[in-house]
Structure 1
Amino acid sequence: MNFKYLAMNASLSLLMALPAFGAQKEMVTVVPRTHSVIEGSSEHKRINQDYMVTTQLLGFAVAPFFGLGLNLGMYLDRNDILQLEMASGVLPLIIANVRASVVGVNWKHFYGNSFYTKLGVDHRSITVENLDYENGQFTNSTVVGTANALTGNIAIGNQWQWDSFTMGCDWIGFNPSVLTLESKYRTTNMDPDEARDLNREWKSVAKTNSYQFMRFYLGASF
């Protein structure tokens, strides 16, 4: 008996059988990844919410201008909200008022129960109003300077949910200037050199990066 011949045939048979074994499909059950949500938590209360309306009662949308605001939100899911925000404030001076307002769209993303980050873009407007003083009181205001810019909006905060009641605060945020839209200051009857210097300084206002602090808000989700 030729053992060498038998061994060669056995080897060839084994090699021919290997592809058949490799072609067999594995029966595997894939278990979906799950995330546990604590019953009664803010994350739990955000489930199945569609819209949010809140009012900014305290804070600085453009520091150091203290003001009020309005937020309108649409829930994409329990951890993502698309928002439209509006806020304005005034800094009163002796013979003038300086006003700041922002209108923007942003995306708020929650990391767990209440902590979130906010990313978006704002239209920021800063104006200066001269006040007319007559007979011991201010009678009129005239806008003499306007600086409009497109800015980014980056902030962190916490938002808590109790059934329909919503409360939160943007603790701190940064608004980098992206694009100057308008920058002008009325220089009628001013010395040409003074007017040139004032316009140069005023243009830098639109390019200034601004900050936001302690924007506390209350409202409802439904």
Structure 2
Amino acid sequence: MFKSIIPFALAATLSSYANAQLITPTDDPVIVKKSQSAIEEDSSEHKRMGKSYEVSLTPVAIGPIPGLNTGVNIATYLTRNAAVIFGYSLLVGGRSCWGAISCSDKGYAFELYYRQFFGNSFYVAGGLDQRYVSSHGSDDFTGESYSFDGETTAASVVIGNQWHWQRFVLGCDWFGLSVPISSRVSNVKTRGSYGYDFEDAKNALVTGTRPMALRVHVGMTF
């Protein structure tokens, strides 16, 4: 009889010891495996979830019109990581002219972009710009001058980051390029030897590939 009781007693003792070891407090770290698809609760990617629209202002930017631009943007989210953006930009600071030469550039642009986020805040955006410009230059001493209107359809791509806090957003297109697909110049008027200056202005404003940089935007999501 005692021989049959001993194994049961030994098993009960070992079981009690194992349970005690399980509930004994320990300072050892607990490693939890995280799914690759998991999203951090306070991340910008998490804040984009459930958002449908975004409205933002661009106080100052380089491009898409050559020079300093300001603008407004409206975006609709297709998913938390993809959006279509419609923008309007206005030229507020044109090219610099030297000496007695004075010049004036005016312009505006419509933009249609697709923005794709990769991870938390980094994105690549690409699309089309439709730019309209007018330029005038003259020499105060000689009276020589030029003027023209220009229209450009360009393909553009930019890289940037955008951060989200509940509804508030802050982003920046760090760098990009605007490459003309088609262009047209009209109402050309030149006086004297300003043909060269006209060609230079046309290349800068209408036909040339232009950089875009530091296009900061601030806004709200809904």
Matched, 1:213 2:193: no
Who is 1:72 aligned against?
74
Amino acid at match of 2:110: V
Per-residue CA deviations over 1:26-77 (Å, capped at 9, x if unaligned) read: xxxxxxx971110011000000100000000122124751121111000001
TM-score where L is the length of structure 2: 0.70
Q: What is the Cα-based RMSD across aligned positions, in Å?
A: 2.7
Who is 1:126 aligned against?
133
For 1:212 and 1:47, how far apart are their aligned partners in 2?
Answer: 29
Who is 1:138 aligned against?
none
Who is 1:145 aligned against?
148
Per-residue CA deviations over 1:178-222 (Å, capped at 9, x if unaligned) read: 111x2035326x35xx47666655554422001111001110000
Who is 1:24 aligned against?
none
Any idea what SS the aligned residue of 1:186 has?
A: strand
Who is 2:4 aligned against?
none
Conserved in 2, the CA contact under 8 Å of 1:62 and 1:100?
Answer: no
Query: Given the alignment, which residue of 104, 112, 115 partners 1:97?
Result: 104
Who is 2:85 aligned against?
83
Q: Which moved more, 1:120-129 or 1:95-104?
A: 95-104
For 1:120 and 1:175, how far apart are their aligned partners in 2?
Answer: 9
Matched, 1:159 2:166: no
Any idea what SS the aligned residue of 1:87 has?
A: strand
Q: 1:63 to 1:103 in 2, by over 3 A?
A: closer
Who is 1:171 aligned against?
174
For 2:46 and 2:207, how far apart are their aligned partners in 1?
Answer: 42
TM-score where L is the length of structure 1: 0.70
Where does structure 1 lack aligned partners over 5 or more consecutive residues? Answer: 1-32, 134-142
For 2:50 and 2:203, how far apart are their aligned partners in 1?
Answer: 46
Q: 1:179 to 1:216 in 2, by over 3 A?
A: same
Q: 1:146 to 1:116 in 2, by over 3 A?
A: same
Per-residue CA deviations over 1:104-138 (Å, capped at 9, x if unaligned) read: 1010000010000001011122321469x9xxxxx
Query: Given the alignment, which residue of 106, 111, 122 partners 1:115?
Result: 122
For 1:165 and 1:197, how far apart are their aligned partners in 2?
Answer: 48
Amino acid at match of 2:177: F
Query: Given the alignment, which residue of 30, 37, 40 partners 1:38?
Result: 40
**Segments of 4+ moved more than 4 angstroms:** 194-203
Any idea what SS the aligned residue of 1:44 has?
A: helix
Where does structure 2 lack aligned partners over 5 or more consecutive residues? Answer: 1-34, 141-145
For 1:107 and 1:153, how far apart are their aligned partners in 2?
Answer: 10
Any idea what SS the aligned residue of 2:46 has?
A: helix
Conserved in 2, the CA contact under 8 Å of 1:185 and 1:199?
Answer: no
For 1:42 and 1:203, how far apart are their aligned partners in 2?
Answer: 42
Per-residue CA deviations over 1:158-186 (Å, capped at 9, x if unaligned) read: 00000110110000010111111x20353
For 1:173 and 1:66, how far apart are their aligned partners in 2?
Answer: 15
Matched, 1:54 2:53: no
